[in-house]
Amino acid sequence: MIELVSTSRCTECGLCVRVCPTNVFDDHDGLPVIARQHDCQTCYICEVYCPVDALYVAPYGDQAVTVDEDALAADGTLGSWRAAIGWGRKRVTLAALDTTPFIDRILPSQPALPAEEIAFILAAPAKEPAEA
């Protein structure tokens, strides 16, 4: 569930209040506050949308836990999911790196793949296709 809105990082853009599918945040004079934590469905999408990595969703779906913002910032956890999705400047999107169409090639029943095939599957695209 959502556990943290970092007030030091938050720029009060209001995006998390708008995008949360289950309406967990309230807007208090611009600042998002976690008003209905137990409605959080732990889908992590708020982290993807937050442009300044001010949100942290803990992995526990039913149980609230205490979190330490400094520790989450220090080990790079804050913002890690947005980085994995590849949103933000100069990042490659997960969509462009997606290996799903290839995973049947590494099923446990399959023989080991040649190195060049693995390299092809894991290759980053030369450039992001321009958005139409």
**Footprint of another protein (CB under 8 A):** 17-23, 27, 36, 39, 41-46, 48-49, 58-63, 77, 81, 84-85, 87, 93-103, 106-109, 112-113, 118, 120-122, 125, 128-132
Q: Is the dihedral of CA 44, 12, 54, 27 positive or negative?
A: negative
- d(CA 107, CA 51) in angstroms, rounded, equals 37
For the CB of residue 11, give the shortest distance to another protein in the complex, in Å: 19
Half-sphere exposure (CA, 13 Å, Cβ side) for 70?
Answer: 0
CB 6 within 8 A of CB 54: yes
For the CB of residue 9, give the shortest distance to another protein in the complex, in Å: 19
For the CB of residue 95, give the shortest distance to another protein in the complex, in Å: 4
